[in-house]
Amino acid sequence: MDILKDSGLLNSRPVYLPMDPNTSLTSEGSPLEDPAPYRRLVGKLIYLTVTRLDITYTVHLLSQFMQCPTQAHYNAALRVLRYIKQALGQGILLSS
């Protein structure tokens, strides 16, 4: 919930797939002016993959563009958050 709140997506509509099947992420396009929010978001998603194995592949793809992300990459990362919103209770519970 904290990641959704930080990204401003608490009121967004959820999606049922972490990545659009018709989306092809490439390094072409104009880079973001400030890549820091993208890097911060992908870093949070990488941490989340420890308990959410269903987003691992998509987050791995997004992490390949940390050096020079574009708006398409940022939109794909936001889609992962919208996917997480529809399935907040899923994940692996790790006890100490």
**Residue 22 belongs to some domain of the structure:** no
**Residue 19 belongs to some domain of the structure:** no
What is the spatial distance between Cα 83 and Cα 38, in angstroms, rounded to a whole number? 17
Query: What pLDDT is attached to residue 41?
Result: 94
Query: What pLDDT is attached to residue 91?
Result: 64
- Provide the residue-wise pLDDT of the chain in tens; the chain has 96 residues: 778 878 888 888 988 888 888 888 888 888 999 999 999 999 999 998 988 888 999 999 999 999 999 999 999 999 999 998 887 766 666 676
**Residue 95 belongs to some domain of the structure:** yes
What is the residue range of 73's domain? Answer: 1-14+33-96
Cβ atoms within 10 Å, residue 2: 7
Check: CB of residue 54 under 8 Å from CB of residue 92. no
**Residue 1 belongs to some domain of the structure:** yes
* CA atoms within 13 A of residue 88's CA, in its CB half-sphere: 7
**Residue 73 belongs to some domain of the structure:** yes
**Residue 24 belongs to some domain of the structure:** no
- In the chain, how many domains are there? 1
